[in-house]
C-alpha cells in the first residue's frame, strides 16, 4: 500500500490525482491487476470524470452543491457539514481501476479525481494493488 | 467468502457492520489485500460514513429520503419501493476496503454501514478477500 | 482482461450485461475471486439493479433524469451533456462482484447493467478478474 497527500484550496473541489496514483503503482511494482484508490475521510471522495474541459468539473460541483446544499432546516449535526458527509457517501470514498503492465486502463477522457467536500484541507489517499488477469 | 446476516428495524436505516466484517476477514485468514463487502439485495446498499456523531447518519438518511421520496406521481413499479431501488443503485451495493495484516485500513471516523432502504428485514452481506500489496 | 461492446438505443438507458460479463469471466478461466466491471466512458456507468420488473429500471431512469435534468441555467460546458457527466460520476463507472467457481455471486433479483447517459452510442466494457477467497 502507498499513501500520498492532497492539498485542497476550496470547500468543494476536484483535484486530478492521475500522476500520484501512477507513481504509487510504480512504487509498488504493479503489473496486471486492479488498483484500489481509497480516501480515509468522511467528507471527501474519489471519482472518475472528464479531464478535458474544466467546465465539466465545475458544472459537476455546481450541480452537486445544489442537490445537496450546505444548509437544510432539518440537519441536526452541529458541525455544519452534514452536506459534506452526504456527498462523500453518494460519490463514494474509493474507485477501482484495472491495471495492465503497471498502468491504469482509463478511457481517453477519464481521470481519477480527489473530491473535496469540506475544504480547504490537507488530505490523504491510499492506493493498493491486487494482482489478477 | 463469508456471509453474515443483518437485522434491520426501520424502512431506512444505517447499521454499523465493522465488527461483522472484521470477524469475516479473520475467519478467512486475511492478510494484506482488499476486502469486497457486497450485499445481494436491490433495495439496500453498503456505504462508508462517520461513526462518531449519530446525527451524521440521521441527517444522511433524512436528506436521501427528501432527494428520493417514496412516492412520485410518475413511478410505475407497483410494489411502492421504486425509491428503494434508486437509493440502492445510487449508494451502491458494495464497498472495497484495503486490508493490512487482516485489519481494515479505515480512517479515524470511518465505519462500514449496511444501508437499509426497504426495511425492516433480515438481510445478508458477503465478504470476499483478494490478496495484494 | 476482456472487453466487450454494448450498443445503446436511447439517451438514457439500462442494458443488462450479465451474459457478456459471464462470458468474459469464462474466457479468462476465472475461479474464486472478484470481478471488476469497468466502462471507460465519462457519460456512462455500471450499476446493479433489479432484473425482474422492467418498471424498476424505467422508474430509476425517470427519477435520475429529474434529479439531474439535461439543462440547467448555470451549466457552462458547451456540449449539452453536463448532466451525463454528473450521472456517470454519481452512479460510478465500475462495479465489483464476488465470483465463485467462475460465476458471479449475485442476489436472486440482481443483474449488472450498463447505464447509458448520453446515447445512443457504441460503448465498451472491460472485465478484470482478481483471484481470492
B117 in contact with C at a CB cutoff of 8 Å? no
Mean pLDDT computed over every residue of chain A: 97
Dihedral angle sign, alpha carbons of residues B98, B104, B109, B114 = positive
A64 in contact with C at a CB cutoff of 8 Å? yes
Dihedral angle sign, alpha carbons of residues A16, A20, A24, A26 = positive
Of A1, A30, B131, the closest CA to residue C32 belongs to B131
The pLDDT score that the predictor gives to residue B45 is: 98
Tell me the per-residue pLDDT of A94-116, one tens digit each, with 9 for 90 and over.
999 999 999 999 999 999 999 99
Pairwise CA distance, residues A113 & A49, whole Å: 7
Which residue from A66, A92, A133 is facing C129, i.e. has the nearest CB?
A: A133
Q: With beta carbons under 8 A apart, name residues in chain A contacting C41.
A: 107, 109-110
Nearest CA to CA, how far is A100 from chain B (Å)? 15
Residue C111 predicted with pLDDT over 90: yes
CA dihedral C42, C83, A43, B129 (to 10 degrees): -40
Pairwise CA distance, residues A11 & A86, whole Å: 14
Question: How large is the average pLDDT for residues B114-123?
Answer: 98
Question: How large is the average pLDDT for residues B119-130?
Answer: 98
The pLDDT score that the predictor gives to residue B133 is: 87
User: Which cell is A42 given?
Assistant: 468522511
Pairwise CA distance, residues C22 & C31, whole Å: 12
Of C112, C91, C111, the closest CA to residue C41 belongs to C91
User: Which cell is C93 given?
Assistant: 463507472
Q: C96 and A96: CB-CB below 8 Å?
A: yes
A114 in contact with B at a CB cutoff of 8 Å? no
pTM, rounded to two decimals: 0.98
The pLDDT score that the predictor gives to residue C133 is: 87
Burial of B99-113, coded b for 16+ CB within 10 Å and e otherwise, reads beebebbbbebbbbb
Q: With beta carbons under 8 A apart, name residues in chain B contacting A1.
A: 32, 98, 100, 105, 133
What chains are in contact with C, requiring at least 3 Cβ pairs below 8 Å?
A, B
The pLDDT score that the predictor gives to residue A59 is: 97
Tell me the per-residue pLDDT of A62-91, one tens digit each, with 9 for 90 and over.
999 999 999 999 999 989 999 999 999 999
**Percent of chain B scoring above 70 in pLDDT:** 100
**Percent of chain A scoring above 90 in pLDDT:** 98
Nearest CA to CA, how far is A90 from chain C (Å)? 7
Burial of A62-100, coded b for 16+ CB within 10 Å and e otherwise, reads bbbeebbeeeeeebebeeebbbbbbbbbbbbbbbbbbbe
B92 in contact with C at a CB cutoff of 8 Å? yes
C71 in contact with A at a CB cutoff of 8 Å? no
Nearest CA to CA, how far is C64 from chain B (Å)? 8
Question: How large is the average pLDDT for residues C45-74?
Answer: 96
A105 in contact with B at a CB cutoff of 8 Å? no
Fold of the A2-131 domain? Jelly Rolls (2.60.120)
> Within a 13 Å sphere around the CA of A10, how many CA atoms are in the beta-carbon half?
9
A92 in contact with C at a CB cutoff of 8 Å? yes
The pLDDT score that the predictor gives to residue C32 is: 98
Question: How large is the average pLDDT for residues B118-123?
Answer: 98
Tell me the per-residue pLDDT of B6-26, one tens digit each, with 9 for 90 and over.
999 999 999 999 999 999 999
Domain residue spans of chain A = 2-131
Amino acid at each position: 500500500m502507498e499513501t500520498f497527500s492532497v492539498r485542497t484550496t476550496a470547500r468543494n473541489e476536484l483535484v486530478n490525482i492521475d500522476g500520484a496514483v501512477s507513481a504509487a503503482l510504480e512504487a509498488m511494482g504493479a503489473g496486471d491487476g486492479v488498483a484500489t484508490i481509497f480516501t480515509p475521510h468522511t467528507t471527501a471522495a474519489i471519482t472518475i470524470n472528464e479531464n478535458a474541459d474544466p467546465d465539466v468539473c465545475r458544472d459537476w460541483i455546481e450541480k452537486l452543491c445544489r442537490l445537496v446544499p450546505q444548509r437544510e432546516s432539518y440537519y441536526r449535526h452541529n458541525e455544519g457539514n452534514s452536506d459534506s458527509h452526504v456527498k462523500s457517501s453518494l460519490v463514494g470514498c474509493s474507485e477501482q481501476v484495472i491495471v495492465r503492465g503497471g498502468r491504469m486502463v482509463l478511457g481517453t477522457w477519464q481521470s481519477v479525481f480527489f473530491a473535496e467536500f469540506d475544504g480547504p484541507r490537507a488530505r490523504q489517499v491510499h492506493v493498493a494493488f491486487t494482482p489478477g488477469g
